[in-house]
Amino acid sequence: MKKIAFIGAGSMAEAIIAGIVKHEVLPANAIYVTNHSNKERLARLHEQYGVTPFRDVENIKDVDVLIFATKPNQIAEVLPKYASLTNAIIVSVLAGTPLATFEATFPNQAIARVMPNTSATIGESASGVAWNTKVTDEAKRWVTSLVEAIGIVQEVDEEQLHTVTGLSGSGPAYVYFFVEALEAAAIQEGLDPKTARELAIQTIKGAALMLDETREEPATLRERVTSPNGTTAAGLDALREHQFAETIHACVQAAKQRSIELGKA
C-alpha cells in the first residue's frame, strides 16, 4: 500500500487532503501529516479526515510520496530533517521555490513542483506541474494520479509555473474579490445582502459551468449576453473605461513577479 506524508498542514495541505480523501485515492490513514507545532490542528485533521498525524521522521521512513506544503520561507529549516527519505518521490506545492532547492537535499530523486489551488477541497483545482530530470514514468503516473484527484492538471516548463501561480494558484482569490465587489455594488444599488449573495454566487457558477460545458469561446458567450445598445453593453463599456483588462493584466503580472521573488529568497 502506498503511503504519503504532508510536511505542513495549512490551508493548501488541507485542501489537497480533503480532495484525496473524498476521491478515495488512498485510505485516509495512509496519509501522514505534520506541522510546525499546532497539535490542535493536527487533531482536527485526524478527526475530520482520518489522516495520521506524526512528529518524528522515523514514523514515515517508508513513505512513497513526500509533499512539502510549508511557506516558501520555512522550507530551508524543514528540508534537512527529511534528507534520509531517499526512496520517496518529492512533491512541492510551494510558490516560487525552484526544483533546485529540493534537488540540493534529494539529488537522486524524482521531484515534482505542483501549483494547485484551494478548489482542491472540492476536487476542482486547476493545477500546473513541472518535473525534474530524475522523474520516472512511474513517479509521473503516481503524482499525476494524486493531482488529478483534486482537479485538472496541465504540464508546463518550470519557468512557466510563475505565470501559472499568477493565473490559477492565486486565481480563486481574484474571483472571490470580484464577488465581494459585485455584492457590495448590488447592495449599494438597492438589493438586500442575502439576495445579492445568492444572485452573485449563481451568476459566477452558471457562467463557469457554461465555459466548461459548452467549451465555446469566452468572447462568444459574452457577445450572446450583450444586446446592441443594451444593459450589458453599458456595463462592459464602464469596465473598459475603468481599464478592466489592464487591471487584470497588472494583477497576474504582480502575482507572477512575487512568485519569482519568493523563488529567490
Ligand X SMILES: NC(=O)C1=CN([C@@H]2O[C@H](COP(=O)(O)OP(=O)(O)OC[C@H]3O[C@@H](n4cnc5c(N)ncnc54)[C@H](O)[C@@H]3O)[C@@H](O)[C@H]2O)C=CC1
Closest contact distance (angstroms) between CB of 173 and ligand A1CAB is: 7
How near is the Cβ of 135 to ligand X at its closest, in Å?
20
Please give the single-letter amino acid code of residue 167.
L
Cα–Cα dist 147/22, whole Å: 13
Considering beta carbons, is residue 97 or 109 the nearer one to ligand A1CAB?
97
Q: In this chain, which of 9, 95, 135, 164 binds ligand A1CAB, going by CB under 6 A?
A: 95
Distance CA 151, CA 69 (A): 18
Rg (CA), the chain: 21
Is residue 70 a contact point for ligand A1CAB (CB under 6 A)?
no
The reply on whether position 15 binds ligand A1CAB by CB under 6 A is: no
Q: Contact residues for ligand X (CB under 6 A)?
A: 7-13, 34-36, 38, 69-72, 74, 77-78, 93-95, 115-118, 169
Question: Are 129 and 113 a contacting pair, CB within 8 Å?
Answer: yes
In the complex, least distance from residue 142 CB atom to ligand X, rounded to whole angstroms: 20
Q: Which is nearer to ligand A1CAB, 53 or 172 (CB)?
A: 172
Nearer to ligand X, 96 or 183 (CB): 96
Strands (E), the chain: 4-7, 31-34, 52-53, 65-68, 89-92, 111-115, 125-131, 151-155
Q: How many residues bind ligand A1CAB (CB under 6 A)?
A: 4
Judged by CB under 6 A, the chain residues 169 through 228 that form the site for ligand A1CAB are 169-170
User: Shortest approach of ligand A1CAB to residue 263 CB, angstroms?
Assistant: 11
Spatial CB neighbours of 126, under 8 Å, sequence gap ≥ 6:
117, 119, 151, 152, 154, 168, 171
| 3 contacts: CB under 8 Å, gap ≥ 6 | 26, 30, 32, 60, 62, 63, 64, 65
Distance (Å, whole) CA 230 – CA 189 = 19
Q: How far is the CB of 11 from ligand A1CAB (least distance, A)?
A: 8
Taking CB under 6 A as the binding criterion, the range among 149-157, 162-170, 206-214, 223-231 that sits at the site for ligand A1CAB is 162-170
Residues that bind ligand A1CAB (CB under 6 A): 95, 165, 169-170
